């Protein structure tokens, strides 16, 4: 049985998460789903974005499906929905964030270290009015995400681009030293190093040159959005955050879009592509993952939602995907 903790979150999160669960239940899988509050909804109900009961349920699950977080009424508040996301990643130690980007001239995978760097370092304000954010990495943190990236590259086209800022940052010098050391265990993978600014330029001008990109937390956050822009935008982009064991966290990259929440027009494509990553990495069902990816691609082409210039509602898009999955049972 595949145990899934569903965290619908805020805004359009519950709408796209509901589609994800409907699709999971329509597949030839034995699935058990439990829904729990998270993000802004949890702050309003329990004064914390990550209630203890939610975290406990996630720890017991095989996979976490997460909608989106963020509410306008909580912007600038002492406790924000995004803090729950940062803490969830830390608590589950999902250190490898996978962000695929595919399109006519691009087929790459960004592997972003997710639980270190600036987002988890010491930060604060000083009496003189200045502020600081600390970026720290250990060799172990770099090595484990590097090994994940090398393994993924070996299963793809065998090319890995490690992105850093070695000409300026000491953490980047440690990053490069560690990646070079790890590379000796993967002779079948071609390794190159690239500065982050050069990587950004190449993602815009020649994205087809990349296979797998490995980088640290902040660089990966930025570069993965740049890559998404080359193949349709954040509204179509999926992600998987993985540790050394379950659960992984599977979520769309887009925000909670509160301006369209409740209108029934949210595009669930990114959420469904995240479910495909769940099928591939948590359920070990690559055939079903491919079938879902193809169904989403077909629905995008023939039943586009409003954001893509079409007129399909969330429900109509979901029906289009489910119709294309009708033969999924034959994949077993």
What are the residue numbers of the active site? 119, 165, 197, 221, 225
* Cα–Cα distance for residue pair 54/62, rounded to 1 Å: 14
Q: SS3 for 76?
A: coil
Burial of 245 (0-12, 13-18, 19+ CB in 10 A): exposed
Longest dimension (CA), the chain: 67
Buried b (16+ CB within 10 A) or exposed e, 309-326: ebebbbebbbbbbbebbe
Apex CA 282: angle with CA 212 and CA 1, to 5°? 170
Which phi and psi (to 5°) does residue 78 adopt? -60, -35
Q: Are 110 and 215 in contact (CB under 8 A)?
A: yes
Q: Are 230 and 103 in contact (CB under 8 A)?
A: yes
Pairing mode, strands 106-113 and 212-215: parallel
Cα 11 off chain centre by: 18
* Cα–Cα distance for residue pair 284/294, rounded to 1 Å: 17
* Cα–Cα distance for residue pair 256/235, rounded to 1 Å: 11
Burial of 147 (0-12, 13-18, 19+ CB in 10 A): middle
| DSSP summary character for residue 24 | H
* Cα–Cα distance for residue pair 237/252, rounded to 1 Å: 6
């Amino acid at each position: 049985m595949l145990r899934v903790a569903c965290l619908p979150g805020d805004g359009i999160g519950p709408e796209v998460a509901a589609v994800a669960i409907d699709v999971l239940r329509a597949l030839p899988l034995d699935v058990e789903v439990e829904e729990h509050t998270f993000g802004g909804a949890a702050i309003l109900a329990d004064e914390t974005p990550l209630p203890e009961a939610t975290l406990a349920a996630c720890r017991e699950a095989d996979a976490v499906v997460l909608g989106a977080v963020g509410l306008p009424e909580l912007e600038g508040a002492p406790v924000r929905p995004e803090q729950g996301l940062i803490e969830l990643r830390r608590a589950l130690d999902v250190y490898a964030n996978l962000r695929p980007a595919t399109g006519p001239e691009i087929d790459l995978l960004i592997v972003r270290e997710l639980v270190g760097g600036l987002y988890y370092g010491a930060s604060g304000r000083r009496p003189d009015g200045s502020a600081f954010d600390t970026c720290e990495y250990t060799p172990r943190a770099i090595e484990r995400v590097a090994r994940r990236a090398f393994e993924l590259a070996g299963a793809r086209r065998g090319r890995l681009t490690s992105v850093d800022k070695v000409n300026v940052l000491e953490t980047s010098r440690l990053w490069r030293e560690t990646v070079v050391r790890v590379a000796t265990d993967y002779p079948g993978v071609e390794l190159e190093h690239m500065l982050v600014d050069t990587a950004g330029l190449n993602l815009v001008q020649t994205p087809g040159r990349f296979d797998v990109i490995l980088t640290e937390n902040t660089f990966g956050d930025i570069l993965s959005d740049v890559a998404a822009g080359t193949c349709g935008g954040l509204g179509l982009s999926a992600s998987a955050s993985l540790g050394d064991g379950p659960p992984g966290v599977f979520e769309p990259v887009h925000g909670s879009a509160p301006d369209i929440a409740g209108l029934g027009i949210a595009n669930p494509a990114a959420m469904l592509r995240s479910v495909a990553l769940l099928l591939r990495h948590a359920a070990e069902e690559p055939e079903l993952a491919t079938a879902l990816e193809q169904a989403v691609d077909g629905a995008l082409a023939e039943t586009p939602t409003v954001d893509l210039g079409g007129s399909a509602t969330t429900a109509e898009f979901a029906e289009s995907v489910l119709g294309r999955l009708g033969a999924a049972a034959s994949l077993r």
